Structure 1
Amino acid sequence: MPQITLEFSKSLDHVDWRAVALDIHNACVDIAETKLSMCKTRLVRLEHTVIADGAPEQAMAHCEIRLLPGRTADQKSRLGDAALERLQGALSEQPGPLSISCEVLELDGETYRKVVRPA
C-alpha cells in the first residue's frame, strides 16, 4: 500500500514513466502519510485505446491510487490533485489531444492482504 497503476497510450512511450511514478510515490509519502517503501506502481502501456471520436492522434494517461482506509477525504483529494499535476507536468510537451485523469480509491481493509519477503 499504496497500490498505484499508471496506464498510458502507446504514443506516450517517450515519457519517463519511472520518474513520474517516483514523483507520485513522494506525493503519497507527503500527503497520505505512508512510507516510501510501501509504494508500488504498475506501469501499463495500452496497446489499443479508443478515445473520443477514435482519431489516432488521441492519447490518454490515467493514474489510480489505492490506499488502505484511514485517510481523510481531504488527503485523498489533495493526493489526486498532486498526481494529476505531476502527470500534466510530464505530458506538457505532448502535442495533440490528450486526456489525463486520476482517481484515489480505498482498498478494502478487511480483505486486502500483503506479504513482503525480505531479500
Structure 2
Amino acid sequence: MPHLTLEYSRNLSNFNPMRALLALNTAMFDSGLFSEPDIKSRAIALETFLVGISPTPRGFAHVRIALLSGRSDEERKELADAVLAALSATIDRHNRAEIQLSVETTELDRASYAKAVING
C-alpha cells in the first residue's frame, strides 16, 4: 500500500511518465508514511479527453492515491501537497496549453484489503 494512479492527457509536450512516476514515488517515500517497496504506481495516457468546452488548448494530469484507512486529514493533505509539487516539477512550462494538475487521496477499507508478496 499505497496505489498511485497518474492519468494524463496525451497533449502534454515533453512529458515523460516514467520520470513523473519516479518523482511521485520519491515524494510518497519522503513523506515517511510508507516503506519503499510498498509504493505501487502506474501511468495512463489518455488519447480521448476534453477540458471544458472551449477550443482553447488544455491538458491535465491527475493523481489518485489509494490508501488504507487510518491516516489523519493532515497527513493526507501533506501527502497530496507533496505529490502535487513533485508532479508540477515534471511538467514542461513551455507547453502551448493550459495544464491543470490535481491530486486526490481515497481511502480503502482496511478490513477488506488483502495483499500477498511472492518472492522468486
Q: TM-score, normalised by structure 1?
A: 0.89
Q: Report the counterpart of residue 36 of structure 1 in structure 2.
A: 36
Q: 3-state SS of the aligned residue for 1:12?
A: coil
1:21-100 equivalent positions in 2, closer than 5 A: 21-55=21-55, 57-93=57-93, 94-100=95-101
**CA 1:37–1:109 in structure 2 vs 1: closer, same or farther (change >3 Å)?**
same
Unmatched tracts of structure 1, length 5 or more: none
In 1: Cα distance, 2:31 partner to 2:86 partner: 14
What residue is the counterpart of 1:101 in the other structure?
Answer: 102
The residue identity in structure 2 corresponding to 1:110 is A
Identity %: 29
Q: Deviations over 1:11-70 (max 9, x none)?
A: 126312212212222222232521110011111001100111252721110000111123
Count of aligned pairs:
119
Counterpart residue identity of residue 66, structure 1: A
TM-score by length of 2: 0.88
Q: Is the 8 A contact 2:9 2:47 kept in 1?
A: yes
